[in-house]
Amino acid sequence: MQKLITAITFLLLFFSLSAQPLKITPLTGDFYIYTTYNIYKGDQVPANGMYLVTSNGVLMIDTPWDSTQFQPLLDSIQSRHHKKVVLCIATHFHEDRTGGLEFYQRQGIKTYTTSQTDSFCKKENKKRAAFLLAKDSTFKLGQYSFQTYYGGPGHSPDNIVIWFQQAKILYGGCLIKSTEASDLGNLSDANVEAWATTIKKIQHAFKQPQFIIPGHLAWTSNRSLNHTLQLIEQYQQKTK
């Protein structure tokens, strides 16, 4: 009986850890944050993406971290807004941003990364986009326009941000750390020496954002750029 109880407990624990929910939260107006989860170093970690509903379809920024949520996210968007995703942009080459690119391309969605991101995706055997951006670009979709911006390396060599001037939204992805973060996180591809300069360039380029969306953890504070600088400084002091 004890063995049976142990086995059931293990299965319940396994399924609780492997069950990766999809959470969609309104941000402002036509903007929504979607959050998926995966296991990182034994813990369930949230990853934030964003989508924008326009008159000409839906823009998705980054893809779910958990592959089981690729289709449910599309289904949820269709059910909520009666529109299809037509464009997807990934902000750097890691799996929590690019994992769904080829899946979404097969659904007829136009997928984009920078040329630099694509080179890393190819090298690391990650999923790749159908269309490449050779430089900072401005898009128009329906009633909205937005721009991609590369300020330099930080979390990864290729990390970009996306700026929505009308709504004053800065989507930072993993380059920007949530105010909930206590450290810089995954540094496997990071350039900590250049990171602060990159953040300061972004602060200079996009002033007074009302919303700043980091790649992980809480996104309700607009102080995450300054918090990222503080974490960089703390890391550098510890490693001197």
Taken in order of first residue, the domains within the chain and their CATH numbers are 21-238 (3.60.15.10)
Whether 216 is catalytic is: no
Is the per-residue pLDDT at 16 higher than 80?
no
92 is a catalytic site residue: yes
pLDDT in tens, 51-84: 999 999 999 999 999 999 999 999 999 999 999 9
96 is catalytic: yes
Q: Which of 30, 62, 66, 92 is catalytic?
A: 92
Catalytic-role residue among 30, 96, 118, 158: 96
Beta strands in 177-231 (DSSP E): 211-214
Q: Among the options 94, 158, 159, 216, which is catalytic?
A: 94
Task: Determine whether 227 is an active site residue.
Answer: no
pLDDT digits (tens, 9 = 90+) for 99-150: 999 999 999 999 999 999 999 999 999 999 999 999 999 999 999 999 999 9
The band of 220, judged by pLDDT with boundaries at 50, 70 and 90, is very high
38 annotated active-site: no
Residue 39, pLDDT score: 87
**Partner residues linked to 97 by β-bridges:** none
